[in-house]
Structure 1
Amino acid sequence: MSSPLSHELIESIERLVGPAGLVRDPELMQGYLTDWRNAYQGLAALVVRPASTEALAAVVRLCHDAGVALVPQGGNTGLCGGSIPDASGRQVVLSLSRMKRIREIDLANETITVEAGVILQHLQEAASQAGRLFPLSLGAEGSCTVGGNLATNAGGTAVLRYGNMRELTLGLEVVLPDGRIWNGLRGLRKDNTGYDLKHLFIGSEGTLGIITAAVLKLFPATHSTATAWVALPSAQAAVDLIGHVRSLCADRLTGFEMMSRQSLAFVLEHVAGCSDPLDTPHPWYALIELRDTVPDAPLTQLLESGLSHAFEQGWVIDAVIASSQAQAAALWALREGISEAQNHEGPSLKHDISVPVSRIPEFIERTDRALQQDFPGVRIVSYGHMGDGNLHYNISKPVGHGDAPFKAQERAIMQVIYRMTSAFNGSISAEHGLGQAKPAAAAQFKDPLEIELMRAIKRTLDPAGLMNPGKVFASGLE
């Protein structure tokens, strides 16, 4: 297929980024046009890989003047198709994979300045080598990038203590839709000079501009860890337990993950090397992690004390505390293997929702009941970050049912879950963003005034609608 872009435009872009910055071969382009789950596929006129902010800005200016839509892309590890172009073949994918410099580490200011193409794991390693911690941690950290983490306001397993990307960011550098560069790379913790513009771009999924660099917070490295796998009689017990552990351990509590027996059962069946830490099955589990900056801190004793009280209260049925890093890693593998394991059971209808922590048990009970009433036999895989109310509420088909009939029920199942989420004053997307998967649902379940205000911001910054069109907003709302 011939490119819809003019020969002159392609030549001008190539002069800016060089031959290594241009991907035109259809076969080489495929990795940029399909997400990692093969759930979303698109076409593109061109894939452009600038190596600097200045080159990227010049490409954006050219495309803006030519009326060409742009799709920013980081590690392409998202779950909602936010970095995949549409099927028109007229959009340009802007990959930030070559922009991977760590520009500065300021230990006195406890900050690190990095470009958007830096892989999260490399950022973690750079912080560690400097004797510091960058706490964002998630399953895709070996391939996701800082730009994508910022664009989706990523959370992960340590939000309970450190917050998500919004809380971890002090400043941004952003290329605006017309090619101007906003230099907001200020490592300031206090700046009351008007609107805090960085928060417009964090979580905007590339629809308002392209984040090219960021000043991020660093933290003291942790040197002591205690990890426990805990069996619970109910989801309510998880709420009671986290409140108790929080009051006892304060900010030493870094992680508190909750998962259902169905979640664990899939992992035990499908993930090699995993085994049940406890002798008998239980309805619910929690994975608790404490960390401290002090070497040899008495975290295990603290955890044992907290669990002892929880046993007396009936919040805990059984528990095991890891006695080595290898055992702790094995416990975390049970939590991190859930998404992969569920895929072996056929189509997985994934819902990344959040509700107030106090209402998680009621949400689960009422939503489970509603789904079983309307779709008997569906298997509900509930797990997530208990401390911040983020629940991955995923649905697998009934045993023995075909994929196609189950997939045909996807929208009806989604409606039940999102209606219930709305009834609990929750969010239909806690950490994965909207991408191209959820804009229509957002238009349905968000306050219309919120949508109106978001649309006004979009039109102010991107009046031509060229930045990642079709993402965040339902068709016709841009």
Structure 2
Amino acid sequence: MNSTIDRLRKQIGTDRVVTDQSDIQPWLSDWRGLYHGAALALIEPRTTAEVAEVVRIARETGTPLVPQGGNTSMVGGATPDSSGTALILSLRRLNTIRRIDRDARMAVVEAGVILQTFHEAAEAAGLRFPLTLGARGSATIGGLISTNAGGTQVLRFGTMRGLVAGVEAVLPDGQIYDGLTALKKDNRGYDLTQLLIGAEGTLGVVTAATLRLVPAASETASAWIGVASPHRALDLLRSMEATSGAAIESFEIIPAHDLELVLEHIPGTRRPVATPSAWHVLIDYVGHDATARLTAMIEDAAGRGLIEDATIGANGAQAAAFWRIRDSISEAERAAGPTLAHDIAVAVDAMPEFIESAGATVEARFPGVTVSAFGHLGDGNVHFHVNAPKGTDAATWRSNPGAAISTLVYDLVTQAGGSISAEHGIGQMKLDAFARTGGTARLAALRAIKQGLDPHGLFNPGKLIPPLAPATGAP
């Protein structure tokens, strides 16, 4: 181990190699505090060439690497194990926006650039990067690519996968893959760029990316709408899509239970509409004459009985207040007590029925819990949270009955033909569930790809790829 540290200091500089455990400590836990590990050192390269040097030394010494960006993983995907043998490879110092091409609407951005910083740079150039999420102030571009992040604008622009035109990455053998050129056609076999997106750092370390930008929004209107049920919410979405085309950028569903928790636990929040509703929808409409057009659609929906109450943000501050409620749901749930979070997807048209039937099944099977499903209805992705009864001890409840609750949720998702991970990834949290529900063909292919590119298993070990079950029976 000392030899590895000495070589790293010699090759990339002493200031890039942090071994003081008090300095490393903040990066040894996930942001929710569910996973804790240990590390030999924290490595902070500043260039792609230095990342390549780190990878080569790690390979030659058999040292595991755990790539880390903003450390905002929801599934423990950037936390090392407890052995203390791994290096945390921090990409935070690769934080340069190399260029923004206004004419091509492209930007080349290094992995450590914080999403909010990139938003501001694109805006200064008269453009925008159409992906946002609650952790935009700390999440990094490299982490967003490695987890194929989603967020609240997927309805119109897709996930991170659709916004990446190319990547630069260091592969497990230490070679630099330069795929930054944004080619519209490239038929040279397997698409390595797409393979690295969503790989959670198990196949390579993304060091930079070419990202697609879109024109700055001419006008944005936000509305908060009360509806009777998830079915009514989907009817409203379909009606608005038929009228507006792609102008609806965000369509978030929120149960009354979560609205009440936010109002109770998040200071400064206010009830958006006076009429009590079982469900609520938050909509962003982007385009010319947005407020007038959204108002007309809401009036039409009200006339057809699709909505119970609605208000449109009169200014940016009111729209921000709507979004603060949406972005504070997880925080409010944590303040109220233990919560099991499940990031799941089913077909869009099947989601309302799934929300109601799966929620009823879980609450009947585990009396006292409360299910809240909120999020990206238009994407077929909700955050299916199961909240513990009041007064429950968090540590005890997460293991029992928590494990059984999550097993039931993932079984219900799989039976509905859905995915146990819509946008957060597998990490280490969902390894067992993925091994059970992933299907033999998918898992075999993932393991073969991992073995082919990282035969020594040094890149982010213990994440994404479920290990093979030990053989049983006579040889």
Amino acid in structure 1 at the alignment position of 2:332:
A
Aligned residue pairs, count: 469
Q: Distance in 1 between matches of 2:168 and 2:181?
A: 9
Aligned to 2:65: 70
CA contact (8 A) 1:109 1:187 kept: no
Task: Please give the per-residue CA displacement for 1:301-342, whole angstroms capped at 9, x wherever unaligned.
Answer: 211221122112221011011111111111111111101100
In the TM superposition, residue 404 of structure 1 has moved relative to its aligned partner by 4.6
Q: Distance in 2 between matches of 1:404 and 1:74?
A: 28
Q: Identify the match of residue 446 of structure 1 among 433, 438, 441.
A: 438
Q: How does 1:205-216 map to 2 (within 5 A)?
A: 205-216=200-211
Q: Identify the match of residue 380 of structure 2 among 379, 389, 398.
A: 389
Q: Distance in 1 between matches of 2:172 and 2:115?
A: 26
Q: Distance in 2 between matches of 1:300 and 1:255?
A: 15
Amino acid in structure 2 at the alignment position of 1:130:
A
Aligned to 1:338: 329
Q: Distance in 1 between matches of 2:160 and 2:469?
A: 27
Q: How does 1:75-474 map to 2 (within 5 A)?
A: 75-292=70-287, 297-407=288-398, 408-474=400-466
Q: Distance in 2 between matches of 1:467 and 1:97?
A: 18
Q: Distance in 2 between matches of 1:379 and 1:101?
A: 44
Task: Please give the per-residue CA displacement for 1:28-85, whole angstroms capped at 9, x wherever unaligned.
Answer: 0001111111111100111101110001101100110111111000000111010010
Amino acid in structure 2 at the alignment position of 1:315:
L
In the TM superposition, residue 108 of structure 1 has moved relative to its aligned partner by 2.2
The percentage of counterpart residues that share the same residue type is 44
The TM-score, its normalising length taken from structure 1, stands at: 0.96
Q: Distance in 2 between matches of 1:177 and 1:477?
A: 25
In the TM superposition, residue 400 of structure 1 has moved relative to its aligned partner by 4.0
SS of match in other structure, 1:320: strand
CA contact (8 A) 1:370 1:416 kept: no
CA contact (8 A) 2:114 2:140 kept: yes
SS of match in other structure, 1:306: helix
Q: Distance in 1 between matches of 2:12 and 2:306?
A: 59
Aligned to 2:40: 45
Alpha carbons of structure 1 residues 461 and 341: separation in structure 2 relative to 1, 3 Å: same
In the TM superposition, residue 443 of structure 1 has moved relative to its aligned partner by 1.1
Amino acid in structure 1 at the alignment position of 2:60:
D
Amino acid in structure 2 at the alignment position of 1:79:
M
Q: Distance in 2 between matches of 1:305 and 1:12?
A: 66
Q: Distance in 2 between matches of 1:274 and 1:54?
A: 47
In the TM superposition, residue 225 of structure 1 has moved relative to its aligned partner by 1.0
CA contact (8 A) 2:12 2:53 kept: no
Amino acid in structure 2 at the alignment position of 1:282:
S
Aligned to 2:9: 14
Q: Distance in 1 between matches of 2:427 and 2:196?
A: 14
CA contact (8 A) 1:71 1:206 kept: yes
Amino acid in structure 1 at the alignment position of 2:351:
I
In the TM superposition, residue 196 of structure 1 has moved relative to its aligned partner by 1.6
In the TM superposition, residue 214 of structure 1 has moved relative to its aligned partner by 0.4
In the TM superposition, residue 185 of structure 1 has moved relative to its aligned partner by 0.8
Bigger shift: residues 273-282 or 323-332: 273-282
Task: Please give the per-residue CA displacement for 1:200-253, whole angstroms capped at 9, x wherever unaligned.
Answer: 100000000100110000110112011100000010011101111111111111
Task: Please give the per-residue CA displacement for 1:374-403, whole angstroms capped at 9, x wherever unaligned.
Answer: 111211121011111110011111234443
The TM-score, its normalising length taken from structure 2, stands at: 0.97
**Backbone CA RMSD of aligned residues:** 1.3
CA contact (8 A) 2:227 2:278 kept: yes
Q: Identify the match of residue 26 of structure 1 among 21, 31, 42.
A: 21
- Structure 1: give runs of 5+ residues left out of the alignment: none
CA contact (8 A) 2:363 2:371 kept: no
SS of match in other structure, 1:344: helix
